[in-house]
Structure 1
């Protein structure tokens, strides 16, 4: 089959690779109809991880089941399904407690597994024509047949639940104000989730016009940090008041004004400054235990300066970690079906598999409106 393969920093290509087969009775094989490029893929694409050439990318996957293992009981050939990016076994303690992002069985020695991602287990990615899904009864969420809501449903694999999760991590309650740092796909989904959940005000901080325009289109208030300190802009707009909650949808590659200088703790510092005493922050943005491309020696080891004294003084709470997609995806699916949610507003480009290398380059450079790319590998 054909698949998007990592060749080295800033280079991917479409190559012929071995088509996946049933390896365990609980597996299914899915013919991929849609798969998305994620900002997390760019960490590998840019050489900022330990990813080695040959890995097949793609952790945001959906399609139609082509083959089922003998042990699969809830699924059948022809079912349309979407898979959480995190692979879970369904029966370890964390999976049983709805913490499937931290499954302790699928990736020994590491809490959690995922498709097509470095250090996240032996699971080939889905930016390919076919995908093997392990523990399929647990991991595959059934969808209505056909192609309706295709670009909405594919976002259930990661960014829609992750945005929702970021808001939940902050301790958000309906009627509160919230700021989201980062207007990429996850940040926009966090802002959209806050709107859906009844926020009184939603701010989105970024510097890229297309992202800020998208934020404004859903009723959020765009804040361009190139125009001045984002925290000061927000507090000034609120006549001296801080916000109730904040979400970090940026992670360890945060940048300063102008976008040319990385400052890994920039958003972390802003979170503490912008949230009112006893408020909360949610951090779904990716932070890593080691970063060879970091601007200083401490950050290379995953050690970041954090204003803990002020955090303590204000009595803030913090939630972090990858999204437990299965905790949310069934309900978000039903919101899409009912017409209550349409997350595909973030999708800027839908492409064929051969166009993936160019799409990676443009998405990485944040040019030509590339905000979220969906690949259709079998079109």
Structure 2
């Protein structure tokens, strides 16, 4: 099969690799029709993880089931399914608690909980930027979609259920967003925009989104959020001006450890510390931007160890509460699917490009460089656009 393979920093290619196949009775085999390039993929693309060359990338996946193992009872051949980026067993202690991002079984590495498709340190599972994908524990991991998901245009929305829509929703859950709240969101990439959409759906009174890329800020404004350009002045000051001087009720960090200032200098704690400053005393923070325990490509010794300079004194002084971590996608994907099916949510507003699989290297390069207009890239391994 054809697949997008990680070759090393700043290099991916489309190669012929062994076909994915059923390996255990509880597996399903999915023919991928729509898969996305995620901002998290760029951490590997930039050489900021210990991703092994030769691995197949891709953790935002949707397609048609073409084969199931003898132990699969619920998922049927012909179903159109979206796969959570979390690979989870469904029966361990953490999965029973809904903590599928921290499954105790799926990752064979000692002292690591949680697994994902095509991602560094997240288990041995190949990704779905490929023609075929093996799905372990298929009855648990497959979200069977409504009949309209056969339409490629509808897949633009449903594929967002694999990661970024639930992750944006998770940010607002961690931040405890309630109707009428003011919400400050750092980052207008795909996850930040999904957090803005989620806060809006939840009835937030004021949603403010910080970024400096005009195309992303336009998308934030398109869904009713207030765009804040941090290249034109302190985002903290701008947020306080919009919130009576005290700051937002809630805050979401959707950037992570590769945050840059407007001059292009990287500061791993920049958005995290700005968020503390931007949220009021007693406010709540949801942090879903990626922070890693190791950062081999970090610009300084502290970052190489995965450590972040954090203004804990101000965080403590303001009595804030923070929730962090990867999204447990299955906690949210069914209810968000129902919102899409009912026409109440259209997360595909962020999609800028749809490419065939062979065009993936171009998609990675332009998305990584933040080229104007490249806001979200979808790949179609079946050749359709």
Relative to the length of structure 2, the TM-score reads 0.97
For residues 219 and 284 of structure 2, the distance between their equivalents in structure 1, rounded to whole angstroms, comes to: 25
For residues 262 and 361 of structure 2, the distance between their equivalents in structure 1, rounded to whole angstroms, comes to: 29
Deviations 1:19-43 (A, max 9, x none): 0111100000000010000000001
Deviations 1:3-54 (A, max 9, x none): 0011111111110000011110000000001000000000101111101210
For residues 293 and 20 of structure 1, the distance between their equivalents in structure 2, rounded to whole angstroms, comes to: 31
Q: Check whether the contact 1:107–1:121 (CA below 8 A) recurs between aligned residues.
A: yes
Report SS of the residue matched to 2:13: strand
For residues 284 and 11 of structure 1, the distance between their equivalents in structure 2, rounded to whole angstroms, comes to: 26
Relative to the length of structure 1, the TM-score reads 0.98
Root-mean-square deviation over aligned CA pairs: 0.9
Report SS of the residue matched to 1:39: coil
Q: Does 1:113 align with 2:118?
A: no
Task: Find the counterpart in structure 1 of residue 233 from structure 2.
Answer: 228
For residues 257 and 228 of structure 1, the distance between their equivalents in structure 2, rounded to whole angstroms, comes to: 10
- Among residues 360, 364, 367, which one is paired with 1:360 in the alignment? 364
1:190-339 to structure 2, matched below 5 A, reads 190-258=195-263, 260-339=264-343
Q: Check whether the contact 2:255–2:290 (CA below 8 A) recurs between aligned residues.
A: yes
Post-superposition shift, 1:362?
0.3
Report SS of the residue matched to 1:87: coil
1:1-379 to structure 2, matched below 5 A, reads 1-108=1-108, 109=110, 110-145=112-147, 146-147=150-151, 149-258=154-263, 260-379=264-383
Ranges in structure 2 where 5+ consecutive residues have no aligned partner: none
Deviations 1:330-349 (A, max 9, x none): 00000000000000001111
Report SS of the residue matched to 2:360: helix
For residues 258 and 21 of structure 2, the distance between their equivalents in structure 1, rounded to whole angstroms, comes to: 37
Report SS of the residue matched to 2:40: helix
For residues 178 and 306 of structure 1, the distance between their equivalents in structure 2, rounded to whole angstroms, comes to: 21
Q: Check whether the contact 2:256–2:290 (CA below 8 A) recurs between aligned residues.
A: yes
Post-superposition shift, 1:241?
2.8
